Amino acid sequence: MMLKIENVLTRAEVDQCRATIIDGPWVDGNETSGHQSALAKKNEQIAQGSDAANEANALVMDALGGTPEFVAAALPLKVYMPMFNRYAGGQTFGNHVDNAIRQVRGTDVRIRSDLSCTLFLTDPDEYDGGELIVEDLFGEHKVKLAAGDMVLYPASSLHRVTPVTRGNRISCVFWLQSMVRENAAREHLFRLDSSIQQLSAEKGGDDPLVVDLTNLYHNLLRRWADS
The one-letter amino acid code at 222 reads: R
DSSP-assigned letter for residue 198: H
Instruction: Give the percent of the chain with pLDDT over 70.
Output: 96
The residue extents of the domains of the chain are 3-178, 183-224
Q: What is the mean pLDDT of the chain?
A: 94
Interval 197-220: pLDDT, tens: 999 999 999 999 999 999 999 999
On the question of pLDDT at 37 being above 80, the answer is: no
H/E stretch holding 178: strand 169-178
pTM of the shown model: 0.94
State in words which class domain 3-178 has.
mainly beta
Q: Give the model's confidence band at 29: pLDDT under 50 very low, under 70 low, under 90 confident, else very high.
A: confident
pLDDT, position 104: 84
pLDDT, position 30: 82
On the question of pLDDT at 113 being above 70, the answer is: yes
CA pair distance 105, 32, nearest whole angstrom? 10
CA pair distance 36, 33, nearest whole angstrom? 8
CATH dotted code for 183-224: 4.10.860
pLDDT, position 33: 60
